[in-house]
Amino acid sequence: MPDVDSAYGELAASRGLELLSSCSTDPLTPLLVEAEGAPLSPALRGALADGVEGIVGQLAYKRNKTFRFHVAYTQVPAATAFAPRVFCIRRGRSTRDDEFYGFEARHSKLWTESTALNERFAVTTSPFQDPVWLRRLFSPSFVDWLRTAEPADFSFELAYGAVLGSIEENEPSADGLAALCDATAHVATRIREECEE
Amino acid sequence: MQLNKVGIGLIAFFGLGGLAIALAPLFVSLPAEAVLTMVLLGGIWALVAFGLVLYARHSQRKAAHQDWIFQQGVRGTATVLDAGSSAKVNEMPLMSLRLDLEVPGSARREVRRREIMPVFAAARMQPGLRLPVYVNPEDADDFILVW
């Protein structure tokens, strides 16, 4: 099994990313909220892909048990005006083990228009999301890409312009991390394109 | 607020558990005091489940009303003048907002609003932030803030 530090080192070397010992996080998306300020460690900063700057790193936190994700973060500020929140989360993913509250703020609703997408992901948006814009974002080609996108455990969150791609694998290889960067960059690019339409 | 999976589990747990405890004396011979205790305990559990169901139904009706305002309401803008939180509900900040409301057809006015929102949304509530609002066409005080 590859060592996490060496996988990040290998990715940094192959893509020219800056290696950081750790990187602090803010509660910008649901996953980062669950992490309660846990830093990304190790972390890399630079171009996730052509034209998409961001940070990739390991996010580990404890909510009864330890959860470990590898995340890639970038921004598409223009998205806030069109879709404040879009969460496309792999079905079956768990991000905490200490949930005791039966009621939560009504901040999202399931988007079920694409059955193909819903086989792999639970897609939620703001309850007051413009459905037309969302249909345009999830174009047939984007849905097709998401259905088959690598890594297999990829999920993404868009919250007020912050785009966070993530995988659950404990010790991904450099190739696995590169796939995470590529997938996150692809999502960010797609969102940016739709904002510019 | 909306019911989540944990809430459904809680309703099932207290509802079915309460029924099981209250009805157990029918199938097991117990002293009268134990029967009374079990019926009371089961009743309390069932009441808790009933209360949760009532609250969930209230939340559902409120959500349906908000959806109606979103579909039929007059769109305007709210500018956050002041935002703060001094309490949390289920780990989510209860935000106290002071808003400058601009809605076509109505005079500009200042309103106060309290909203429970997730941490990642609460973190954005800063003075100067402009948010869409939808106002009930029949009641100017009834509006939804789209955060």
Residues B26 and B55 in one domain: yes
Are A144 and A186 a contacting pair, CB within 8 Å?
no
**Domain identity same for B78 and B141:** yes
Same domain, B103 and B56: no
Instruction: Among B51, B70, B89, identify where a domain stops.
Output: B70
Residue B61 in contact with residue B78, Cβ under 8 Å?
no
pLDDT of residue A53: 96
| Domain boundaries, position B105 | 74-145
Extract the tokens encoding A42: 């190790």
Q: Which residues contact A126 (CB under 8 A, 6 or more apart)?
A: A83, A84, A85, A107, A108, A109, B146
Which value does ipTM take for this structure? 0.80
A125 has a pLDDT exceeding 80: yes
List chain A domain ranges. Answer: 4-196
Report the pLDDT value the prediction gives residue A99, as an integer from 0 to 100: 73
Last residue of a domain, one of B48, B70, B92: B70
Q: Identify the pLDDT of residue A95.
A: 85
Name the strands in the sheet holding A121-125, side by side, starting at the edge strand that comes first in the sequence: A18-20, A40-49, A52-63, A65-75, A162-167, A155-159, A85-90, A121-125, A109-110
CA distance B97 to B83: 5
Q: Which of B52, B60, B92, B120 to mutate to test the interface with A (most CBs of A within 10 A)?
A: B120
Q: What is the pLDDT of residue A2?
A: 58
pLDDT at A1: 46
| A 140-159 residues inside an 8 A Cβ radius of B | 159
Closest C-alpha to B117, from B144, B86, B95: B95
Q: Decide if A153 contacts A183 (C-beta within 8 A).
A: no
Q: B87 and B122: one domain?
A: yes
Residues B83 and B61 in one domain: no
Q: Are residues B10 and B58 in the same domain?
A: yes
**Element spanning B136, H or E:** none
pLDDT in tens, A53-112: 999 999 999 988 899 999 999 999 999 888 989 999 999 888 887 677 778 777 788 888
Nearest to B117 among A101, A105, A128 (CB): A105
Write the residue in A85, A102, A159 that is nearest to B7 by C-beta. A102
Q: Once rounded to an integer, what is the mean pLDDT over residues A130-159?
A: 92
Q: Compute the average pLDDT of residues B106-127.
A: 93
Burial A162-190 (b: 16+ CB within 10 A, else e): bbbbbbbeeebbbebbbbbbbbbbbbbbb
CB atoms within 10 A of CB B108: 11
- Angle at the Cα of A121 (from A47 to A190), degrees rounded to 5? 35
Mutation choice for B interface testing from A63, A101, A160, A163 by most B CBs within 10 A: A101
A162-171 pLDDT, tens digit per residue, is 999 999 988 8
